Structure 1
Amino acid sequence: MRRPLALISSVVLCAPLALPRGAWANSEASISASAAEPGPNPEEARLKEASERFQKGLTFYDQGEAKLALVEFEKAYELVPDYRVLYNLGLVAIQLGEFARARVALESYLRQGGESVDAGRKAEIERDLEMLRARTAVLRVETKEPEVLVLVDDVPVGETPSVEPLVLDVGPHRVSFRRDGYEATTERVTLAGGEEKTVAVQLRPVKPQLVTVRERPLPPPVMQPSGPPVGAWVGWGVTAALATGAIATGVYGIGQASSLNSLKQTPDPSPSQMDQLSSSASTALLATDVLIVGTGVALAVSTYLTFFAPRDRDKAAQARSLGVALSPTLIQAYGAF
């Protein structure tokens, strides 16, 4: 049998939360506030939303939609934390079998309400809490390291040492501990009704990974034939490739710019087409400039390797390498000769 929910005429809001209904109307309708038209004030908007959420929760509850009612009551309490909403939260959570949720809500109701809760209501809630404590457990977590993030069933509950004792439903749970620089740890616990348990862990620092580098002896020198070194041929190949790319992008960029100028001469040019042609032309011409500079660098390196680099047999035996790195803002030439 469902118990009637508490009705609150106003939760320090600018609009009523609920009209009186049933046996609880008089006992919980003691807070009053002036009804005002919602304005641009963010505070008024927040209070108005809380009132509407609470009203929707009552409507859902009357319609038998306990899950929807619980969501609305929690949202109303989040917006305006009036302790009397917790009574409704607790009763609806009991009906849904979410006993830990109900216990937290009703304990908070008595703690926040204090002397404002009448004796009959208090006795009723104490009976509920006796039933709930037999169906829930309390879990405490401890870590040697501070500022460890604690997750219960993958839901963050806080960082040590500030994590309060957790009220949980009975059954199995996963308790995870995470902190940068330490290995993540997960403990699995099974809680029984009325049990109070402590999980204490010490995290292990992450071990740095060592990389071993072994030197290999250089191969014996290889006598190189006379003529331009291999690096020179590579350099001329890179020069040719860069020059070809510069010509291709230049032709494409000029063509796009010409198309853009033609489009501008039309009576009603399309802005999107103009933007596309302008972007294509700018990108292609910028790439052309970069490739031209790269071609010049590669040409200079290739000329040096062909006509000026030492070619005696001892130095020719040494390994040579050549490379050119290009980016929109940087050109690098590197090599070993």
Structure 2
Amino acid sequence: MVVSTWWSMLALFETYALITTFGFAWNVALADAVNFNLLVATAGYIMFNSLKFYQAGPKTAIYLLIWSIALASLCAVLHRYLMSSFFQDNVPYQEYLAGSHVIRGLFAWLMIALIGMQSWIWFYMQEQSANEKREQETLKFSREAELASLRQQLQPHFLFNSLNSISALAGSKPEQARLMIQQLSDFLRGTIKKDDQQFVTLDEELNHLQLYLEIEKVRFGHRLKTEIVRDEETAGLTLPSLLLQPVVENAIKFGLYDTVGEITIRIDARTTDKQLVITVENPFDPETSRPRQGTGFGLNSVQRRLYLLYARQDLLSTKMTGPLFKTEIKIPQPA
């Protein structure tokens, strides 16, 4: 609509100029203007569509120059031929056509070249936008794939430990073995349900975590105690699903494996500065605790997931306060 209006105004302006400057009859001036501008507009349309198949670069500029000159020359020749045929008996107009032939060709070339440049810029911007969109989609799919991979790696080593414990209990304590199998089944069923959920409420996460802790309590008996404290303001707050299990598993590993007495794992949830802040605290003795071989998956996986989801490296921190090892996680909440 805008383009057609622009060409119509240009044709009317040219008609007015031919009437006032050269004194041609209105029908001659209008026919000349409409014919010429229609030819140039058609050439511009051809130029626009032909540039769809050319990528930006030096070769495109050469193509644009040659193609615009060829189309402009064709417009000038066709215009002179057609108008000479229509007004054969109008001698002043025939003289005007002969004298303005070169100027018309130059004007047509400028118009077509301008259309070509604008078209080239438009197609280039469209291509850049499409490339950026593809890159963003690729990054998104890559991030989602990595997040899925991180979540899928949560369970194998825990599952192996649980199966080993069940095997050990099967002979001496079959009732506890059956209980542990049932708890493990409930836990894995809940894990499968959460695979399609990127975020869950704190209540859902703690309920699922409780299933995990019940299994661990069967393994470690009275030695493992847990304490969960939360503010009322945390109700309804969300966090990435299955985020807390590797943190608590890390706390159990370093709190229990090198001691023979009871330990208490404390989980504290509160809200600060529009963030859900969760602290996991476990006893830790650097003199008796020794490095363990493994994948180093626990806290590293949590930090990586948080970075992929929030693009921040400061959402997980650890520190030692006396005999306690504290892991703090900050979860930004949607506005």
Q: TM-score, normalised by structure 2?
A: 0.24
Q: Which has the higher contact order (CA 8 A, sep 6+)?
A: 2
More helix by share: 2
Q: TM-score, normalised by structure 1?
A: 0.24
